[in-house]
Chain A
Amino acid sequence: MFTLPIDTLIVFTVTTPFVGWIERKLHRKIISGIYAAVGFALSGFMLYQLSSQALSSPMVVPIHAGVFEACLRVDALSVFAAAIFLAMGFLVTVYSLKYMERDTGLSLYYTLLLAMITGMLGVVAAGDFFTLFVFWEFMCIPSYVLVAFRKQQWEPVEAGFKYLVMSSAGSATILYGMSILYGLTGTLNFAQLSVVMTSAAANVWGYVSLAFILIGFGVKASMFPLHTWLPDAHPAAPSSISALLSGIVIKAGAYGIIRTLFMIFLPSRFSWQIALAVFAALTMTYGNFAALLQKDIKRLLAYSSIAQMGYILFAISTTTSYGLTAGLMHTMNHALMKGLLFLCAGAFIYRAGTRNLDELKGIGHKMPLTAVIFTVAALSISGVPPLNGFVSEFMIVYAGVNAGMLAFTVVMLINILLGFAYYLRLIKIIVWSTPTENVKKVKRAPTLMLLPMALMALSCIIIGLYPAPFIEMASKAAQAVI
């Protein structure tokens, strides 16, 4: 049907509610979670088997897909993105086993989680713009629900509604842009579009379509004036879901921008780079400034995600192969780092029961291992070598200099400094403070939660020390679209 990794995930998605039914009969709350984790692992294995073929040449499903046929097209970029999504999905599922144990409706939770990742896999594998859109909705709808999953509190409901309205408006905007694109070219197949748009003159209507699509994806990728849902939705969701939202869901937006801008609105025919760079600069500056004084740990991290998306957008806006490689590297690294930070925040919240930084003071002394992991992630995201965040930020800055966008690069460097400042503040509060009264009784984090966190922290260090193979992968992925 689709490619094997997606099919596997679909099977698991559809069967998880039944597993949940069995789970209730057996009175074991953990089965559906393990089932979902197995699903991710299996899908990851399938992806690995697929990768060698897909990396060398794009794989089209069905094989003789016509111009008007819905099709999947798995190339190096798809494999790269899908690998990140699956890995994060797996780790977060393992984390959720413990983290979500106090909630009800767990089998539905895992179903939605699987559905969301399936949708993302479909998004990156789609070879047709409309197929991408259908999978996009398949990703979005579960994510709305997951944000509002703890509906017995007001915050997730409010955030979920805002998220839903803005994001759906974004989806509709993509659809509108797509319709203009269809009117211009008569097809929505990516391969075909790229051929047609190369030969056709850059029409004014092409620019209109570009604006619609960029804004639509920009909502998901939290571009500056469209970011407003993010600081609400990411903190309101359960921490495991925040890790996925900040780690990979907003990356799907970046993926959409990369795919459309590089394969349809080719940078050689459409001059969008300055516009995108302006938006990127606004996004990173706003994100960093707003994060600076936050009192809520998850809100701070959410704002920082906006800033980091600004870096990725800036990397994309250089339009060079270097820049795209850097952007993809940062996509991967940010997924790891921000996911890790949210998971750590989740561990703190799980034990201390508060998100307020004033009340979390010195909690690192009670949860030493979590604190060390948190510090690694925070230093990494603020670009301190030899951790992975440094590698990609270095590459982005290089790409900026290389593309001759010196002014924007300087803006980015200043932003890195700003981000560095509030992450140091965060480390100071968590690690370098005397414990307050209400964290005195806190115990260390459960092993099942520590396990995925430790794994991610380790990979942060490994990617930082020996980034060569990962850069190789990212560069291959970048070559696939340029």
Chain B
Amino acid sequence: MLPYSPWLAWFVPIIGCLLVPILAKINGKLRDWFSFLFVAISSVFTFSMLPDVFNGYLADVQVQWIPYFNLSVGVLVDPLSVFMASLVSFIGALILLYSIGYMAHEEGLTRYYFFMLLFIGGMIGLIMADNFVQLYIFWEIVGLCSYALIGFWYKKPEAVRAGMKAFIVTRVGDVCLLLGILILYFNTGQFAFSSIQNSAGFLSMSLLTTVMLLLFGGAIGKSAQVPLFVWLPDAMEGPTTVSALIHAATMVKAGVYLVARTATIFPSLSSDYLLVVAGVGAVTAFMAATMALATFDIKRVLAYSTISQIGYMMFALGLGTSGGWFASQFHLMSHALFKALLFLCAGAVIHITGTRDMRQMGGLRRYMPITYATFIIGALSLSAVPPFNGFWSKDLILEECFRLGGYTGYLLFFAGTLTAIITIAYAIRAVALTFLGHESTVLKDKKLREAPSVMTIPLIILASACVISGFLQPSFANLMSQMFPKIADLSIMNIEALPLSISLLALVVGGLPAYMVYVKRSVSPEALTRGSLSRGVYKLLVNGYYFDSFYNYVFVKGTVYISNKLRKLQTGILNVNMLAFLIGFLFLLGLLFSALQGGI
């Protein structure tokens, strides 16, 4: 391990972000490359910790910060944090390399690189945090950066609105998280993970469940689970690199990390809590996958697929077994790789075609062979086709469901399989609409060519990682077995026949119709929405199960209504003000006297 690497891993990007405005004064190119360099250095630090944790090195370094709250600032080095940090810094570095080409002709790049570095630094800081307050602070910083980055193109009003939406919706979750942290602190007197772990045994089960559910509320917001997923599809208004970062590495993984981390802190999880986690995860996985089927925006397809895949991770965590825990982390790694790949490919496509609507693409296979090939790899990984990494991890999740058995296990297995069927369908649909068939008329007069090499190199790196990483399961299990010893059993890639055959069957069930409809075109896609029932379903899917309209109606409109009504109270007439004075006085007297009589 390089000296001080747990600290420097997040210090370097954050210091880098402060240097960005200064470097920008010197030279634009210098700023771009230095930003990449800072994250690359950070990833060197994070990777340097990997060998140590492999050899069983654990550390929890603390420096006193606010003695009034008995609060320290500290870093936690254990397999989970080091693994996550390495993933984030690695993907972050690739995305920054890619942005040098992708964002080259944009305005306001200083702002862009400032927040990108802060985003990555904040996420690594979140992961390395050894106490809840530090985690919460970085959690909010990540939210702030997402707000600034999603609204990067501030001249588009939708982008600014999407940024605000992301920030506000995730903050609804954050409020739960904060309350959970405080209730926990109030009952244990500690913020640090290690101390809470020691005193968690004394807490009553109902209290623990409440706290855990509140913490999970925070994860729901950040990881875009039902019912707070509405911000993620809109967040596609930001630059594609930002979406890639949000989906693959930083923002949405924070929620999964939090749930995984709490699972290591509290050894005995209540079944109610697990049921909620698993239920939310399964429902999300299914709903998001169906929504991905109905949208024509290539980035929104990927966004829904992220929500769905995060749902997989959540319900794997909700199994409550160490195997499920491991499977979720394994899937997190796979997902990070293939989702980054898919987003960057989509970015390349958007970069060239200038549109996000898949109906206006098509036939790009001929012009962008590298992008096409890598996108295919990503899509195959996403839809869990062997031997790509998505297959190994998703299969592990389903196997763990199967192994758990019982009502929940089989139900979850069923939900997972159903989702898998839909997943391959929308993956094929996306590939076919974008790359196969004929170019749409819109593209006729555009000069179509392959993206520049600074963009394709990260694609190739990520694609090869997608192929390889699935086979890393044994060593990954070895690494993680320090968190839960039982995980060591998973270091052999033993595959159970029944779940495997079911999931392979699911691939065929989902893949074949999609292939017929979108590739072979033997049935026109429009024909699917002709019946009145299927039209209704289609409308439901396009509108995202009306979650958005519901929130808009109840919360936004409701708040505005109340606000308008309350503003009427300010009549501007002095007499009325004094009348309010008298009434307020009498009200206070009433309250005080009822308190005196023991009323309250």
Cβ A165 vs Cβ B574 within 8 A: yes
Cβ of A398 within 8 Å of any chain B Cβ, yes or no, is yes
For B577-590 the 0/1 string (1 means CB < 8 A from A) is 11011011101110
List chain A residues, Cβ under 8 A from B585. Answer: 173, 211, 215
Q: Are B178 and A424 in contact (CB under 8 A)?
A: no
Chain B residues contacting A210 (CB-CB under 8 Å) are 592
- Inter-subunit contact A211/B589 (CB<8 Å): yes
Q: Determine whether the beta carbon of B178 is less than 8 Å from that of A275.
A: no
Which residue of chain A lies nearest to B174 when distances are taken between CB atoms in the complex? A417
User: Of A218, A228, A271, A432, which one neighbours B596 at CB under 8 angstroms?
Assistant: A271
The reply to whether B560 and A292 form a contact with Cβ atoms under 8 Å apart is yes
- Please state if A211 and B592 are interface contacts (CB–CB under 8 Å): yes
Kindly supply a per-residue 1/0 record for chain B positions 182-225, scoring 1 wherever the CB is within 8 Å of any chain A CB and 0 otherwise.
Answer: 11011000000000000000000000000000000000000000
Chain A residue at minimum C-beta to C-beta distance from B172: A417
* A471–B171 touching, CB < 8 Å: no
A279 at the binding interface (Cβ < 8 Å):
yes
CB distance from A335 to the nearest CB of B (A): 20
Cβ of A394 within 8 Å of any chain B Cβ, yes or no, is yes
- Name which residue of chain B comes closest to A225, CB basis: B584
Distance to closest chain A CB from B495 (angstroms):
45
A219 touches B581 (CB 8 A): yes
Nearest residue (CB) in A for B163 is: A432
A311 an interface residue at 8 Å Cβ cutoff?
Answer: no
Docked-complex contact A432 and B154, CB < 8 angstroms: yes
Given known contacts A223-B584, A271-B595, A425 and B563 CB-to-CB distance under 8 angstroms: no
Is A480 close to B, CB under 8 A? no
Contacts of A188 in B (CB 8 A): none
CA distance A420 to B164 in the complex (A): 10
Closest residue of chain B to A219 (Cβ to Cβ) is: B581
Q: Is A133 part of the binding interface, using a Cβ–Cβ cutoff of 8 Å?
A: no
Decide if B567 touches A293 in the complex (CB within 8 Å).
yes
With beta carbons under 8 angstroms apart, the residue of A165, A228, A434, A471 that contacts B580 is A228
Cβ A428 vs Cβ B164 within 8 A: yes
Interface positions, chain A 292-334, Cβ under 8 Å from B, are: 292-293, 325
A416 touches B175 (CB 8 A): yes
- By the criterion CB–CB under 8 Å, are B68 and A424 in contact? no
Q: Of B136, B164, B572, B593, which one neighbours A385 at CB under 8 angstroms?
A: B136
- The verdict on A421 contacting chain B, using a C-beta distance below 8 Å, is yes
Flag if B175 contacts A231 (CB, 8 Å). no
- Tell whether B168 is near chain A: CB-to-CB under 8 Å: yes
Judge if A408 is at the interface, Cβ distance under 8 Å.
no
Q: Does A162 contact B (CB under 8 A)?
A: yes
- Assuming A289-B562, A432-B154, A468-B65, is B588 touching A275 (CB within 8 A)? yes
**Nearest CB on A from B511, distance (A):** 43
Query: Please, how many angstroms separate the alpha-carbon atoms of A231 and B155 in the complex?
Result: 32
CB distance from B22 to the nearest CB of A (A): 14
B contact residues around A390 at 8 Å (CB): 137, 140
How many angstroms between the C-alpha atoms of A480 and B454 in the bound complex? 63
Decide: A433 near B154, CB < 8 A? Known: A275-B591, A293-B564.
yes
| Closest CB in chain A relative to B19 CB, distance in Å | 16
A266 within 8 A of B: no
Contact A169 B578 (CB under 8 A): yes
A432: B residues at CB distance < 8 A: 151, 154, 160, 163
* Contact across chains for B171 and A420 when beta carbons are under 8 A apart: yes
CB of B245 to closest CB in A, whole Å: 20
Residue B314 interfacial (CB < 8 Å):
no
Is A204 an interface position by the 8 A CB rule? yes
Query: Within the complex, which residue of B69, B151, B179, B570 is in contact with A413, where a contact is CB–CB below 8 Å?
Result: B179
- Mark out the residues of chain B between 131 and 158 whose CB falls within 8 Å of any chain A CB in the assembled complex: 133, 136-137, 140-141, 143-144, 147, 151, 154-155
Q: Could you tell me the distance in whole angstroms from the C-beta of B341 to the nearest C-beta in chain A?
A: 31
**B270 on interface, CB distance cutoff 8 Å:** no
Q: Does B498 contact A (CB under 8 A)?
A: no
Query: Are A384 and B140 neighbours in the complex by a CB distance under 8 Å?
Result: yes
| Shortest distance from the beta carbon of B237 to any chain A beta carbon, whole Å | 12
User: What residues of B have a CB within 8 angstroms of the CB of A468 in the complex?
Assistant: 65-68
B559 in the interface, Cβ–Cβ < 8 Å?
Answer: yes
Alpha-carbon distance A413/B69, docked complex (angstroms): 20
Across the interface, do B179 and A401 meet the contact criterion of CB distance under 8 Å?
Answer: yes
The answer to whether the Cβ of B566 comes within 8 Å of any Cβ in the partner chain is yes
Q: Which single residue of chain A is at the shortest CB-CB distance from B582?
A: A225
Which residues in B have their C-beta under 8 angstroms from that of A215? 581, 584-585, 588
Bound-complex Cα distance A278 to B590 (A)? 12
Is A229 within 8 A of B566, CB to CB?
no
CA distance A417 to B169 in the complex (A): 10
Distance in Å: Cβ of B20 to nearest Cβ of chain A: 14
Chain B contacts for A431, CB-based, 8 A: 154
Q: Give the chain A neighbours of B591 by CB distance below 8 A.
A: 274-275, 278
Is A207's CB within 8 Å of the partner chain B?
A: yes
Q: Is the CB of B592 within 8 A of A398?
A: no
Would A434 and B588 count as touching, CB distance under 8 A? no
Establish whether residues B587 and A225, one from each chain, have CB atoms under 8 Å apart when the complex forms: yes
Residues of A within 8 A of B144 (CB): 379, 384
- A182 interface residue (CB < 8 Å to B): no
B600 at the interface (CB under 8 A from A): yes
Check A166–B578 contact: CB distance below 8 A: yes
Also in contact, A472 and B179, with CB within 8 A (given A211-B585, A225-B581)? no
B596 in contact with A204 (CB, 8 Å) = yes
Interchain CB contact under 8 A, A275 and B171: no
**Minimum CB distance partner of A161 in chain B:** B574
Contact: A401 with B182, CB < 8 Å? yes
Task: Give the most central of B179, B182, B593: most A CB within 10 Å.
Answer: B182
- The answer to the question of B476 belonging to the interface, with a C-beta cut-off of 8 Å to chain A, is no
A397 close to B (CB within 8 Å)? yes
In this assembly, does B231 line the interface, its C-beta being within 8 Å of a C-beta of chain A? no
Closest to B147 in A: A424
- Inter-chain CA distance A287–B1, complex, in Å, is 53
Q: Are A385 and B140 in contact (CB under 8 A)?
A: yes
Closest residue on chain B to residue A418 by CB atoms: B559
Per the bound structure, the CA–CA distance linking A468 and B66 in Å amounts to: 5
Interchain CB contact under 8 A, A228 and B577: yes
Nearest CB on B from A285, distance (A): 9
Question: B325 contacts the other chain (Cβ, under 8 Å)?
Answer: no
**Chain B CB within 8 A of A58 CB:** no
Chain A 406-448: CB-based contact to B (< 8 A → 1; otherwise 0): 0001100110111011001100100111100000000000000
Contact of B577 with A211 in the complex, beta carbons under 8 Å: no
A348–B82 CA distance with the chains assembled, in angstroms: 47
B167 in contact (CB, < 8 A)? yes
> Measured between alpha carbons, how far is A437 from B581 in the docked complex, in Å?
44
Residues of B within 8 A of A475 (CB): 68
B186–A401 touching, CB < 8 Å: yes
**Nearest chain B CB to A150 CB, angstrom units:** 19
Q: Which residues of A contact B171 (CB under 8 A)?
A: 417, 420
Q: How far is the CA of A402 from the CA of B164 in the complex (A)?
A: 32
A290 at the interface (CB under 8 A from B): yes
Interface string of B62-102 (1 = CB under 8 A from A): 00011111000000000000000000000000000000000
Interchain nearest-CB distance for A430 vs B (Å): 11
Contact B593 A207 (CB under 8 A): yes
B569 to chain A: which residues have CB within 8 Å? 286, 290
Q: Within 8 Å CB of B183, what residues of A?
A: 401
Question: Which of B137, B154, B179 interacts with A397 by CB under 8 Å?
Answer: B179
* A413, B217: Cα distance in complex, Å: 14
Closest chain B residue to A329, Cβ basis: B68
A contact residues vs B (CB 8 Å cutoff)? 161-162, 165-166, 169, 173, 202, 204, 207-208, 210-211, 214-215, 218-219, 223-226, 228-229, 231-232, 271-272, 274-275, 278-279, 286, 289-290, 292-293, 325, 379, 384-386, 390, 394, 397-398, 401-402, 409-410, 413-414, 416-418, 420-421, 424-425, 428, 431-434, 466-468, 471-472, 475
Given contacts A271-B596, A397-B182, 10 further A-B contacts (CB under 8 A): A207-B592, A207-B596, A229-B577, A289-B563, A290-B563, A386-B141, A390-B137, A424-B168, A432-B163, A434-B155
* A–B Cβ pairs within 8 angstroms, 7 of them: A275-B588, A279-B588, A289-B562, A386-B141, A394-B133, A416-B175, A434-B154
Q: Which 6 A-B pairs have the closest CB atoms?
A: A225-B584, A275-B591, A385-B137, A432-B154, A228-B577, A225-B580
